[in-house]
Structure 1
Amino acid sequence: MLWKEANARLSQSELAHLGSGEVGYIRKMRSDEVSRCFPEAPEVDPSLDLWALFGADGTPILLTDNRSSTFYKAAEDELKTISLH
């Protein structure tokens, strides 16, 4: 089956939730992005390297200054991880 054929059978809602609860992604964040993704977070020192774990649907899960912590949290939540650059 071609991807195009499989994709045509998914509703927009189904596609948005593909991988939900199974896949997470990790990416480096700049301090100016934090308040948009993690509105409850305090102001962050711009010199810090920050890492975030998100669910497949973009739901923020964890913000940390320790990249390894994102992998530990993903494993704890039984998520397969990918990194975005």
Structure 2
Amino acid sequence: MMMKEVTARLTQTELAQVGSGEVAYIRKIRSEDVPRCFPEAPDIDPSVDLWALFGADGTPILLTDNRSSTFYKAAEDELKTVSLH
């Protein structure tokens, strides 16, 4: 039996909603990117390593200097974390 390959076409908006409320991603963030993603955050020393948790659609959830905190917050919110390459 031959399997057919099926290609789904999603709009950018539809793709942004995949995993919404269920999936989050964690990434290292530079201090100069903080105001764009977390406008309410104070000025942060550029030498501090920062980690951010984002919803599947890119919504910022948490900013911290402790990577483990992002995993704890994701678990608290019942979000599955994924790696981005």
TM > 0.5: yes
Alpha-carbon distance in structure 1 between the residues aligned to 2:83 and 2:15: 20
Structure 1 segment 1-85 matched on structure 2, within 5 A: 2=5, 4=7, 7-8=8-9, 10-84=10-84
Change in CA separation of 1:15 and 1:48 when aligned onto 2, cut-off 3 Å: same
Q: Deviations over 1:14-51 (max 9, x none)?
A: 22200000100000011011001001100000000000
- Using the TM superposition, give the Cα deviation of residue 12 of structure 1 relative to its aligned residue in structure 2, in angstroms: 4.1
Q: 1:3 to 1:42 in 2, by over 3 A?
A: farther
The code of the aligned residue for 2:76 comes to: E
**Mind listing any 5+ residue stretches in structure 2 that lack a counterpart?**
none
Letter aligned with residue 69 of structure 1: S
CA distance in 2, matches of 1:11, 1:27: 24
TM-score by length of 1: 0.86
Q: Following the alignment from structure 1 to structure 2, what is the Cα–Cα distance between the partners of residues 60 and 19? A: 15
Aligned residue identity for 2:41: A
| Greater percentage in helix | 1
* Cα RMSD, aligned residues only: 1.6
Distance 1:84 1:48, change over 3 A: farther
Q: Count residues with an aligned counterpart.
A: 82
